Amino acid sequence: MQNRDKLIQDISQQEEFPFRFEDWEQKAKETMEEGAFAYVYHGAGSEETYYRNQSAFKKWALIPRMLRDVSQIDMSIHLFGKKYTTPFLLAPIGMQKLANGEGELATAKAAESLDIPFIVSTVSSYSMEAIANVAPKGPKWFQLYWSSHNTELSFSMVERAENAGYEAIVLTVDTVMAGWRIGDMKSKFSPLSLGYGKGNYMEDPIFLDNLENHEEETILESILDNIQHPGLTWDAIAQLKKRTKLPILIKGILHPEDAKLALEYSVDGLIVSNHGGRQLDGVIASIDALPEVIKAVDGKIPVLFDSGVRQGIDAVKALALGAKAVLIGRPYYYGLAVHGEKGVRNVMERLIQETEVTLALSGISQLSDVSNIAIKKDL
Ligand SMILES: Cc1cc2nc3c(=O)[nH]c(=O)nc-3n(C[C@H](O)[C@H](O)[C@H](O)COP(=O)(O)O)c2cc1C
Ligand SMILES: O=C(O)C(=O)c1ccccc1
């Protein structure tokens, strides 16, 4: 067994890497251009949900188990027939060149080294093929923003994802239009209009065929037209199912009735998420929405979780409430901004190590036994 006290000593020697999320965040603020940092950092509206996401975790408390031999911890999970070493995924975050010139390429390499699935966004700075090329062995999923403007474009991206070895499609449904983001409006910051999110579009035959000309302005306008999809309905799921053999997950479910509908539409997995408080402000904390969704799904499909996870204990709480895996968002993005590939790796490595210690102290040696921990809404 790895000596955890020694590990903790070793970690304390690595001074270039901050410990706490807040310190990474502060360093990212010092590193990134002001408007770019504000875009990533803030939530929508008055940021009620953004803050609630984190404070809600503190209301849940674990009741751990003792005397259960935790000398070996197995955190591996199975999802859609594949085994992954940890219960973590990297959430889709678009336009990663805003953080670092290497953008998603750096993130993909870090993810590959840790066997963590990287969910690549529709609005990535690099194309999904380029990202797959730099990390061929790393598990990769593709996050789709539906295009009502041109459904064939959506299908084309899904087909490209299949060809490039992506293992699942994540359809994000809470972003039919951008949230009410006051900070970005004030600073007039729009990374899509600045061209940070065009990687996938510039290599898409359907997108290119539909362009009137190849002037930068036309390209960016067309991306903006394609990204909004207020007409999205469950019918898109039915259409998508016909076009791909890959598992389809829906990201952004909070209501248990929507979870039931997802079962009716034969969706393969759900991601409980409020988009990190960036979309509809005033909504329930993601962790508080999780139990009802888990109940509605009744074990029929895996339920994944994101929004507000900052430390190992947050992840363990979500897992104890029934999430199968947890997506990390802003923490890895700040790692990318501060130290590129190494930063993403360090953030994730420490999170994994911390989660291991948390599970051990909770009496859980096998992640599949995590439901043995009791969890109560305490305060
Ligand atoms: C800067 C930024 C860009 C994002 N872009 C996307 C995206 O392209 N697609 C998507 O499904 N979610 C996107 N998200 C949402 C994340 O996938 C995830 O739900 C969110 O970051 C979780 O909240 P947290 O970072 O506070 O934990 C983005 C989040 C941030 C912070
Ligand atoms: O900023 C976001 O959270 C996001 O998901 C997004 C959606 C469309 C375009 C750019 C970013």
The rounded distance, in Å, linking the Cα atoms of 350 and 363 is 20
Calculate the average pLDDT of the chain.
Answer: 96
* Model confidence at 95: pLDDT above 90: yes
| CB under 8 A, 24+ apart: contacts of 345-349 | 345/110, 345/113, 345/114, 346/14, 346/17, 347/24, 348/88, 348/90, 348/110, 348/111, 348/114, 348/116, 349/114
Bridge partners of 142, per DSSP, are 120, 169
pLDDT for residue 84 is more than 80: yes
Residue 277 has pLDDT above 80, yes or no: yes
Q: Which ligand is in closest contact with the Cα of 119? A: 1
Report how far residue 302's alpha carbon sits from residue 354's, in angstroms, rounded to the nearest whole number. Answer: 24
User: Across residues 98-118, what is the average pLDDT?
Assistant: 98
CA gap 57, 323 in Å, rounded: 14
- Give the angle subtended at the CA of 136 by the CAs of 311 and 306, to the nearest 5°: 25
Of 354, 296, 369, give the one whose Cα is nearest residue 88.
354
Higher pLDDT among residues 75 and 3, named by residue: 75
Residue 8 has pLDDT above 90, yes or no: no
Q: How confident is the model at residue 9, as a pLDDT?
A: 78
Residue 22 confidence (pLDDT) above 60: yes
pLDDT at 3: 77
Region 206-225: mean pLDDT is 97
CA distances to 85, 244, 326 from 320, rounded to whole Å, are: 18, 32, 11
Burial class (CB in 10 A: 0-12, 13-18, 19+), 192: middle
Rounded mean pLDDT, 236-250 = 98
pLDDT value of residue 362: 98
| 330 ligand 1 Cβ < 6 A | yes
Instruction: Give residue-wise pLDDT tens across range 116-157.
Output: 999 999 999 999 999 999 999 999 999 999 999 999 999 999
Share of the chain above pLDDT 90, in %: 93
Q: Where does the pLDDT of residue 2 fall: very low under 50, low under 70, confident under 90, or very high at 90 and above?
A: low
327: CA distance to ligand 1 center in Å? 10
> What's the pTM value of the predicted model, to 2 decimals?
0.98
pLDDT (mean) for 275-290:
98
> Highest-confidence range of 4-8, 307-311, 375-379, by mean pLDDT?
307-311
- Ligand 1: does its nearest atom lie under 6 Å from the Cβ of 276? yes
Q: Quickly state the pLDDT bin for 108 (edges 50, 70, 90).
A: very high
β-pair partners for 169: 142, 248
Residue among 49, 144, 275, 290 whose CB has most ligand 1 atoms within 8 A, to mutate = 275
For the chain, the residue count is 379
- Per the annotation, the verdict on 275 as an active-site residue is yes
Domain range list for the chain = 17-377
Give 2's contacts (C-beta < 8 A, 6+ positions apart): none
The H-or-E segment that residue 352 falls in is: helix 330-361
Residue 379: predicted pLDDT: 67
Alpha-carbon distance of 350 to 109, in angstroms, equals: 17
Mean of pLDDT values over 266-287: 98
* Cβ-based neighbours of 226, under 8 Å, separated by 6 or more: 147, 149, 150, 153, 201, 207
Per-residue model confidence (pLDDT) at position 14: 80
Share of the chain above pLDDT 70, in %: 99
Architecture category of domain 17-377 in CATH: Alpha-Beta Barrel (3.20)
Is 80 exceeded by the pLDDT of residue 49? yes
| 3-class DSSP assignment, residue 140 | strand
How remote is the CA of residue 172 from the centroid of ligand 1, in Å?
10
Work out the end-to-end distance of the chain between its first and last CA atoms, rounded to an integer number of angstroms.
36
